[in-house]
Amino acid sequence: MADGPTSRTIETNGIRMHLLEQGHGPLVLLCHGWPELAHSWRHQLAALAGAGYRAVAPDMRGFGGTDAPDDPAAYTLLHLTGDMVGVLDALGADTAVVVGHDWGAPVAWHCALFRPDRFRAVVGLSVPHAPRGPASIPALVRAKGLDRFYMAYFQEPGVAERELEADPYETFRRLLFSASGDAPEGAGWPAMVPPGKTLVDACAVPETLPPWLTEEDLRLYADAYGKSGFRGGLNWYRNMDRNWALTGPWGGPHGNRLPASTPALFIVGDRDGVIRMPGLDKAYQNLEQLVPGLRRKVVVPGAGHWIQQEAPEAVNGALLSFLREIVW
């Protein structure tokens, strides 16, 4: 059995980044989403190390032990993918397989799009690679008057921070449960924040923690965010308009198609609401068009959004099977 992960800090792309690292061999880079940390990959770090890989999970820009620049404009997809290239440079690795979940999935997809010379294969969890639309998601929902859609709700600096930071333990207890496969039908993640309520208020309240989330895990998240706050991660959402503008060169119906030579895998839980969101539902259905190197879609029964934590055995099995197919 491999030893547990080691913790280190590196310099990348102008910031100091905290990493968890385990194992030796070909590099697999694990990018978490919101509101998570490198800790969300704890099960994958061990499995990858045990299978002969070097698994590295950073606290992404603005999260946990990694620097959180004050300027909201310092969180674009160009910064985030640049951070991952810088991780490879700092670790002395020419190439890696990049894996991303939630917000980390667009980072992974764009690493493969922007730098196929450095990222030789890509795995997305929960969020499919999507075509660049006629406008950004916040712009589209604002045009429909859906200001309480959570991505639009997150745009005003300070509002979501005050609500999420009021009680980080309760925030995580409710958010993680509500978007999981354990939430009751119809009581899951509130994509629309009801008037007069906060996002946390609108989440389901668990009677007990689901089996995949221990009290120790919950305390780790709450303590980390109690120190860092939520602003760094929320700034990712506050760059969605800017990301849309910056990716203009990859516009058109197939402008951001990944190289056909890049092997890809997509993993999602059948209870994950992301693949039923307008726009992302079509991206999921038509994923092969934008990701021609896609080997398969793996759907995990009963799993919700936090799939690598909820269903680690299924995720690890799919990931390791995919990695064994790649010629290193």
Q: How far apart are CA 8 and CA 256, in angstroms?
A: 34
Among 142, 133, 97, smallest CA distance to 115 is for: 97
User: Does residue 272 carry a catalytic annotation?
Assistant: no
User: Which of 59, 67, 83, 102 does the annotation list as catalytic?
Assistant: 102
Phi, psi of 207 (to 5 degrees): -70, -40
CA distance 124 to 93: 21
Phi and psi at residue 64, in whole multiples of 5°? 55, -125
Helix (H/G/I), strand (E/B), else coil: 149:
strand
Helices (H) and strands (E) in the chain, counts: 15, 8
Instruction: Please answer whether residues 99 and 125 qualify as being in contact, where contact means their C-beta atoms are separated by less than 8 angstroms.
Output: yes
Alpha-carbon torsion angle 253, 256, 260, 261, nearest 10: 170
Q: Rounded CA gap, 157 and 206, in Å? A: 29
- Using CA atoms, how far apart are residues 10 and 29, in angstroms rounded to an integer? 14
Q: Dihedrals φ, ψ of 302, to 5°? A: 80, -10
Which residue's entry shows tokens 């207890």? 173
Whether 101 is a known active-site residue: answer no
The string over 10-37, giving b where at least 16 C-beta atoms fall within 10 Å of a residue's C-beta and e elsewhere, is bebbebebbbbbbbeebbbbbbbbbbbb
Which one is catalytic: 39, 79, 129, 305? Answer: 305
Catalytic positions, written as ranges: 102, 305
